[in-house]
Amino acid sequence: MSVVKNELMSYLLIILCVTSFLILLPSRNASRIVAGITVFAIAAFSSWLAIDTLITAFSGSEPSTRSVEGLIPSLFVIDPLSAFFILIINFTMISGYIYSLDYLKEYIIRKPPVWVKIHYLALVWLQVSMVILPMLRNGFWFLTAWELMTLSSFILVIFDFDEKGTLKAGLSYLVQMHVGMLFLLLAFALSSAGQDTVSFDNLGNWFRDNRNWPMFLLFFIGFGLKAGFFVLHTWLPDAHPAAPSHVSGIMSGVMIKLGIYGILRVTTYLQGDFAVIGAAVIIISAITGVYGVMMAILQHDIKKLLAYHSIENIGIIGLGIGLGIFGTAIGNNIVAAAGYAGALLHTLNHSLFKSLLFYSAGSVISQVHTRNIEKTGGIMKFMPLTAWAFLIGAIAISGIPPFNGFISEFLIYTSMFHGLGNNEFYSVVLIFISIFSLVLIGGLALLCFTKVFSVVFLGQPRSEYKPAPVEAGKMMIIAKLLPVIPVVLIGLLPFLFVKPVLSIAQSAFVPATDTGSAIIMKPMYYIGIASAGLIALIIVAILLRKLMLRKRVITTGPTWGCGYSAVDQRQQYTATSFVQEYASLTNPVIKTGYSKIHYGDDEIFPGPRDFHTHSDDFIRSRIINKPADFMVRILKKGAVFQTGKLQHYVLYVLLFMVLIFILTYLKII
Amino acid sequence: MLILLYILFGISLVYIASTEKFRHYIQIYAMQGILLFGMALIELKDFYFLNLLLILAETIIFKSVIVPYLLRKIMQRTGIYSVHKRSLKGNYTVLLMMVILGISLLLAKVLSIPSVNKIYTVIAWFTLFTGLLLVSVRKYLFGHLVGFLIIENAVFLFSMAIGSRFPMLVNTGILLDIFIAVLVMSMFLTKIGHKMGGFEADTLSQLKD
Amino acid sequence: MVALILILTTSLFFPGLIVRVKSIASGRKGPGILQPIKNIYVLLRKGIVYSTLSGTVSRFAPVIVFGSVAVASLMIPVAGFEPLISFNGDFILFAYLLALARFMMIIASFDTGSSFEGMGASREALYGMLIEPALFILLAGLVVFTGEYSLTGIFNLPGGENYNLIYGLIISYILGNITIIENSRVPLDDPKTHLELTMIHEVMVLDTSGFNLALIQFSSFIKFAVFGSLIASALIPRDLSLAWRLISFVTVQMVFAATIGFLESFRTRFKMNRNQQFILTVTMISVLMFVIILFTKNIF
C-alpha cells in the first residue's frame, strides 16, 4: 500500500468531518440522507483501512502495524487490535443508523427540526470519534477524541428531553464520564512525566521501571467508568433507558467497548505484577457479572433490564481479560490466548446481540408506548419478525448453543479449565471462583431472558393496546436482520470466526504457538459439527412429525384452566411472579419492596387496587447517593454566603484583599 | 477409604446444619462418632495400645451410644421434636457453609506447618465454624447443645491433626466437656425448663435474678 | 456407536423399571417394563391439540428440546465405549445443550398463557439455575483429578486402584442427586401428583399433546439414560473385558433405576421452599468433593 493512498485516506477523513456540518443546513429529510452518506463513507474508509491491516498482518509480508500518514505524521496507528474494534464499531453504527431511519419518524413530527439535525450531527461525530479512538496513540489526541465521544453521546442521550428523568440521566452520565476523564488525565500525565510526547507508548517504559499495578488501577478506573464495571456502573442503568433505542443499541453495543479497548491497550504494555492484576480483574469482573444479572432479573423496565445485562456482559469480557493476564502470570499460553480471544470475541458478540435486543425492544416500545413489561404480552402475534429477532438475541445472550454467545463463553471456559491444570493452590481457587461465577451468570441470564421474552411476546396482552401494534417498519427490520446474520453464522461456523480473533489476540498479547492454537481451535470444528447435527436432527423431527400426522387431525382447544370458568388474560403469570422465588432468595442482598395493600374493615367487596414492586440498586443508593446527599447537606450550610446581592460580593472581594495583605505582611505567602 | 470418611463427615456437617428435626441431629451426631472412630482407627494405628483403645472407646461408645441415648431421653422428657424457629433460613445456612469451607481452606493453607496433617486441619476448622454457626443460628437451646458437641468434635480433629502425640489430657478434657454439657443441659431442660415457659435461648436472659 | 445404542436401549427400559419398582414396593404387580415406551408409541400416532392462545413457539419448541437432548447424548461415554463426538470441553456443550432444552420448555409453557404453566416454568428456571454450578463444580473437580478435558477423559478414572470405587461412589451420589433434580423426581417434585399447583415439569406440558408430548417424554427418558451412563462410566473400570463391561453396565443401570424407585416410594417430597435448600446442599457436596480432590492431588 503506497503512502500516497494513505494520505488520501486521512485527508478524506478530515474532509468528511468538515462536511458533516452540512447536516445542519438543509431540510430534515435531506439532513438524514447527508448523515447517512457520511456514516457509510466513514465506515467504508475506516473498515477498508482496518481490513487491509488485518490482511497484511496475517499474510505475514508486511509489518503488522500500519501508520496512516496524513496531516500529522504517524498520528493514526492501526494494529490488529485496533482494526478489530474499528470493524465492530462500524458494523453497529451502520445498523443503528438504518434503524434510526424508521424509529425517529414519529419523533421528527413532534420535535423541532433543528434538534433532529443536531441529533444526526452528533451521531456522525460519535462515529468519527469512536472510529478514530483505536487509531490514536498520542495521549492528547486520544483524550480529545474521548471527550468528543462523551459530548456527542450526551447529546444523543438527551434527545428526548421532554420526558421526565432524561435530563437527569444525561447529566449523571456526563458527570461520571468526566470523573473518568480525570483519572485518565492523571494516568497519562503520570506515565508520560518527563517524556516529550504524551502517548500510550510511554507506558512501556513506565511499566518497566515502576510497580505496574497502581498505574493499571488508574487506567482501569478511568476506562472502567466508560465500560461499566462494578462500582463504576451507576450511569448505565439510567442513561440507556433514557436514550432512544438506536442510541442505546450503539452505546451499549460499541461505546462501552471502547472502555474495554482502553484496558486492553494498557494491558499490551504490561510487564510485571501479572498475577496480582489478573486476580484483581477476575474478581472484579466476576462480581460485576453476577451483580449485573442479579439486578437485571428484578427490573420491569425492559431497557433498564437490557442495560444491566450490558453490565453483566462487561463482567464476562473482564473475566476473559483477567484470565488472559493471569495466564501470562502462570506462563500458560493456552489460558492466556483463550482468555483474550474469548474476551475479544465476546466484545464482538455482545455488540451484535445487544444491539439486536435493543432494536427489537425499541420496536415494541414504539408500538405499545410503554417500557413496562408487565403491561405487555402476546406481541408475537402482532410483530412476529421482531419477536423472532428478540428470541435469537435472547438465546444468544444466555450463551446457549447454537448461537454466538456460546462460542465466546466456550472460549473463556476453555481458558478456565486449562488453568485448572496448573497445580498451584491459589490459582486453582481463583479459577474455581471464576468458573462458579460464570456458571451462575449463565444460569441467571437464562432465567432473565426467558422471563423477558415470555412476558413480552408470548401469551396474551396484559393490558389493552390502543392502537393495535403493527410490525416494525422495513428499515427497522433490515437493521435487525443485519446483526442476526453474524449471530447465527458465528454460532454455526465457529471455526471461521475464532481463527482470526485468536490470531488477533495472539498478535497483541501472547506469543503464538502452533500447538496452542490447535488446542483452542480443535473444539470449534466439533462444535460446528454438533450445531449442524442439532439443526439436522430438528429438521428430521419436524419432517417425521409431518409424516406421522398426515392422516391425523390437528386442532386447537382452549388452554387448560383447571376448571376455572372466568379465566382471562390478567391471570397469566406475570414477570414479578416469575422471579418471586428468586427475589426472596436474594432478599438480603437486593431488597425488593412490595407495595402494601390494605382492606378496610367494612369493605366486603374490595375495589381495585394497585400493586408495585421495585428493587433498589444498593450500590447506587449506598455508595453514590448517600455520600452525595451528605455532602450536599454540608455544603448547603455554606450556601448562606450566596446572597445574590452585589454589595455582599464586593464586601467579599474587599475582605479577600485585606487577607492577602495581612498574609503577605506576615510573610506566609 | 479415608477419602470416603472425609466426604461422609463433610456431608454430615452439611446435613446437621440444614436439618429440621432433632431426631436427625442425634442420628447424624452418632454417625459422626462412628466416622471419627474409623478415622482414628486408620490413622493412629501405631500408637500405644492403651491410648488407642481409650480413644476408640471414647469415640464409639461415648459419642455414638451414650450421648445420643442421653439426648434422646432429654428429647422425650421435654417433648421437643422439631425445630420451629430458626433465625436464618436454610438456603442461607448452606451458602454460609460454602463460605465457611473456603475460609477454613484458606486458614489452613495460611497457617500450615509441615509437621501438621493438612487435611485434618481443614476438616477441623470447618467443623469448628459449623458448630459456631449452629450455636448462633438456632433459637432452641437444644440446638446450642448440639453445636457445642460438634465443636468438641472439632477439638478431637485438631488433636488428630497433630498426629504424633495424642495426650491423655486432651482426651480427658474432651470427655469432661461433653459430660458437663449434657449434664447441665439435661438439668436445665428437665428441671428448670417448665418454669421458664419456653426452651429458647432468649429466655436465658431472664435469669438475671 | 456402541455408546449411543446402549444409551438408547437404556432409555427404553429405564422409566418402566422405575415404575415397576415403585409398584412392587407398594405391594402391586405394576405395569410392564416397556409400558412407557408403548405409551410413547401411542402418542406418536395421535393427533395434536394446540391451545388457541399459543403461537409458533409451541410448534417448534418440543422438537428443539428433543434435538438438543439427543445431540447431548451423542457425547456421553458409556463404561469405556467411546461416544460419537468427543473433544476438549465437550462437557460445556453438554451442559449448555441441556440449558437450551430448558429454555425451550420454559418459553413453550408461557406460550399457552396459562398461569399454572408459568408457575412450573418459574420453578424450573430457578432450580435449573441453582443446579448448574453443582454439575460444573463436579466436572471441574474431575478435570483437576484426571488432567483431561473431555467427558470421555474425565470419566476415565484409573482402574485397578483402591480409589476408583470410592470416587465412583461419591460421583454417583452427586450425579444421582443431579438426575433427580433435572428430571424432577421425588423429593423435588412428585411425578404422580395431580395438583397443578405443586407440579414442576408435568405442568409445563399440560397443553402439549400427541407427537410433541411423545418427543418431550422421550427426551426425559434420554436424560435418565445419559446420567445413568455417566454414573456407570464413573463406577466401571475401563480395563475390564467387553462382556464384563456390558454386564456391569446393565447391572448399574438396574440398580440405579431401582434406587430411584425405592427412594420415590419411601420418601415424601419436600415442601416447596425446601427445594432450594436441597439443591444448594447438592452443590455443597460437589464443593466438598472438589476440596477432597485438591487434597488427593497434593495441590493444597
CA distance A369 to A394: 22
Percent of chain C clearing pLDDT 90 (strictly above): 46
Give the tens place of pLDDT for each residue, C156-181: 766 555 556 788 888 999 999 999 99
Q: Do B109 and A425 touch (CB under 8 A)?
A: yes
**pLDDT per position as a tens digit, C210-269:** 899 999 999 999 999 999 999 988 888 777 788 888 898 999 999 999 999 999 898 888
Contact B17, B133 (CB under 8 A): yes
Average pLDDT score over chain A: 86
Residue in chain B closest to C289 (alpha carbons) equals B7
Q: Residue C16 has what DSSP assignment? A: H
Cα–Cα nearest to A126, from A262, A263, A264, A247:
A247
Average pLDDT, stretch A485-501? Answer: 90
Q: Are A385 and A477 contacting, i.e. CB atoms less than 8 angstroms apart?
A: yes
How far apart CA A225 and CA A149 sit, in angstroms, is: 14
Place of cell 410483530: A383
pLDDT at C186: 84
**Which has the closest alpha carbon to C29: C42, C40, C38, C20?**
C20
Instruction: Report the distance separating Cα C246 and Cα A660, nearest Å.
Output: 98
Spell out which residues of chain A touch residue C283, defining contact as CB-CB under 8 Å. Answer: none
Q: Where are the domains of chain B?
A: 2-197
C292 vs B1, B3, B90: nearest CB:
B3
Distance from CA of residue B195 to its chain's centroid? 29
- Scanning B98-127 for CB atoms below 8 A from A yields 102, 105-106, 109
* Rounded distance between C-alpha atoms, residue A289 and residue C226, angstroms: 31
Would you state the pLDDT for residue B17?
84
Q: Which residue has the higher pLDDT, A570 or C183?
A: C183
* Mean pLDDT, residues C139-160 taken together: 82
Measured between alpha carbons, how far is A652 from A667 in angstroms, rounded to an integer?
22
> How close is the nearest chain B Cα to the Cα of C98, in Å?
25
Considering only residues A68 and B145, tell me which one the structure prediction assigns the higher pLDDT. B145
Lowest mean pLDDT among A441-445, A536-540, B134-138, B202-206: B202-206
Inter-chain CB proximity C280 and B122 less than 8 Å: no
Can you give the pTM of this predicted structure?
0.91
Q: What is the mean pLDDT of residues A586-592?
A: 82
- Picking from B3, B90, B105, the nearest residue to C166 by CB comes out as B3
Q: What is the pLDDT of residue A4?
A: 42
- CB under 8 Å, gap of 24 or more: what pairs does A432-436 form? A432/C137, A432/C140, A432/C290, A433/A282, A433/A283, A433/A286, A434/A282, A434/A286, A434/A319, A434/A322, A434/A323, A435/C136, A435/C137, A435/C140, A436/C133, A436/C136, A436/C137
CA within 13 Å, CB half, A129: 22
Q: What is the predicted pLDDT for the residue at A136?
A: 84
CB contact under 8 A, C291 and B122: yes
Residues of B in contact with A429 (CB under 8 A): 102, 105-106
Parallel/antiparallel/unpaired status of strands A76-78 and A66-68: antiparallel
Nearest CA in chain C to A459: C113
* Residue A514 to residue A623: CA distance in whole angstroms: 48
- Provide the 10 A C-beta neighbour count for residue B123: 29
Average pLDDT over residues A530-559: 88
Predicted confidence at residue B194, as pLDDT, reads 61
Chain B residues near residue C283 by CB distance under 8 angstroms: 94, 98
In A, minimum Cα distance to B109 occurs at: A425
Q: Name every chain A residue with its beta carbon within 8 A of the beta carbon of C271.
A: none
Residue count of chain B, please give it.
Answer: 209
Q: Which residue of chain A is at minimal alpha-carbon distance from C66?
A: A538
What would the pLDDT profile of B162-186 be if each residue is shown by its tens digit?
765 666 667 777 777 777 777 777 7
Chains touching A (3+ CB pairs < 8 Å): B, C
A425 and B92 in contact by Cβ < 8 A?
A: no
- Which of the four pLDDT bands, split at 50, 70 and 90, describes residue A119? confident
Q: What is the pLDDT of residues A8-32, one digit of tens each?
A: 666 666 777 777 676 666 676 777 7
Residue type at C137 in one-letter notation = I
pLDDT for the residue numbered A290: 93
Q: Does B4 contact C170 at a Cβ distance shorter than 8 Å?
A: yes
Is A6's pLDDT higher than 60? no
Across the interface, which of B18, B101, B119 has its CB nearest the CB of C281?
B18
Burial C255-281 (b: 16+ CB within 10 A, else e): ebbbebbebbeeeebeeeebbbbbbbb
pLDDT surpassing 60 at residue A458: yes
Mean pLDDT of A71-91: 81
Average pLDDT, chain B: 79
Contact B153, B127 (CB under 8 A): yes
Considering only CB atoms, A401 lies closest to which of C97, C126, C207, namely C97
Q: Which residue among A380, A440, A526 places its CB closest to the CB of C85?
A: A526
Task: Write down the pLDDT at residue A565.
Answer: 67
* CA angle in degrees (0–180, nearest 5) for B15-B19-B24: 85
**CB < 8 Å to A443, chain C:** 99, 128-130, 132-133
Q: What is the SS3 string spanning C22-62?
A: HHHHCCCCCCCCCHHHHHHHHHHCCCEEEECCCCHHHHHHH
Per-residue confidence at A657, pLDDT binned at 50, 70, 90? very high
Most confident of A571-575, A660-664, B75-79, C149-153: A660-664
pLDDT over threshold 90, residue A397: yes
User: Residue C103: its chain A contacts at CB < 8 A?
Assistant: 395, 398, 400, 446, 449-450
Cβ B92–A588 below 8 Å, yes or no?
yes
Pick from C54, C111, C115: CB nearest A571: C115
Average pLDDT for A500-511: 83
